[in-house]
Amino acid sequence: MRYYCGFEFAPLDDWQSYVGEVRAPSNYKDQAKIADYISRRIDELSRDAETHPLAGSLSRAVVVKDGDTVFDERSFVGVKFLEFISKDSGLDKNPATTKDNLLIVGYKMHTAARLAALEYIAVNGALPFALHWALELDPEFRYNRIPGYMDPVSVLSGSSTHGVAAVAKKFGLPVNQEEAESLAVVASQLASRLGL
């Protein structure tokens, strides 16, 4: 069973409160250097806020299965995404027999799975055992191994944080890396090229 996923990310509205107060190292004494350090660090956090494990969120998820879009959600995305995968694959009924045939493929898949799991825990209080692959808590699930989930861009380029446009160009595939559905489609095409 194969699911090809695309995601859009956004920082939480009050993201700064989740990453904590920014302070300069204790050996900084000059006020100008302290202010410059804090300013640069806030800029870095701001750039990364949408995928930061505490400050980020999934704003949209799209899942393509058997060539058709079967899931497209923009509210409570992480919870609904994990619930959909669990129910549609049968993991909720019998994880022991389903897991060997489950592969979830997408760009920034690792980041998206963890954000989804954290949202699920925040809303429901706990993550069902069958979904522990999202936080890599189950030793039988490993990132970029089957069964579980993988990011074909990281397999091809060594990193899932950049390179999707370059990888798509290399294989002659159109992709809009800001749009979840386009990323889901390119994930399915790249997975096919990798022989998955």
Q: Say if strands 103-106 and 68-73 run parallel, antiparallel, or are unpaired.
A: unpaired
Distance, CA of 108 to chain centre: 5
Per residue in 84-143, pLDDT tens?
999 998 888 876 666 667 889 999 999 999 999 999 999 999 998 888 888 887 766 666
Q: Which pLDDT belongs to residue 147?
A: 61
Cβ neighbours for 85, distance < 8 A, ≥ 6 positions apart = 3, 63, 91, 104, 131
Characterize 55-69 residue by residue with b for buried, 16 or more Cβ atoms within 10 angstroms of its Cβ, and e for exposed: bbbbbbbbbbbeeee
Segments making up each domain of the chain, as ranges: 2-12+53-193
* DSSP 3-state of 6: strand
Per residue in 5-23, pLDDT tens?
999 999 988 888 877 788 8
The CATH-assigned architecture of domain 2-12+53-193 is 2-Layer Sandwich (3.30)
Q: Which pLDDT belongs to residue 181?
A: 95
